[in-house]
Amino acid sequence: MTGADLRPRVQFAVRRPAGSGRWWYERIIIACPDGGIALPMAYPPAPGDTIMLWSTGGKIPGGSLFTVVSRMWAHSGYGSADWPYGQADPASGPVLDIIVEPGGGAYADETDICAEPSCEAVIIDGAWWFPPGSDTPDEHDHRPYQHDPVTPS
Ligand SMILES: [Zn+2]
Residue 84: what pLDDT? 96
Q: Name residue 102's beta-bridge partners.
A: 66
Residue type, 95: V
Interval between CA 126 and ligand 1 midpoint (Å)? 14
- Threshold 0.85, pTM exceeds: no
Interval between CA 34 and ligand 1 midpoint (Å)? 55
pLDDT digits (tens, 9 = 90+) for 57-111: 888 887 789 999 999 999 999 999 999 999 999 999 999 999 999 987 777 788 8
Q: pLDDT grade, residue 34 (50/70/90)?
A: confident
* Alpha helices per DSSP H over 2-104: none
d(CA 25, CA 18): 9
Q: How far is CA 107 from the centre of its chain?
A: 12
Report every protein residue that has its C-beta within 5 angstroms of ion ligand 1. 114, 116, 119, 121, 142
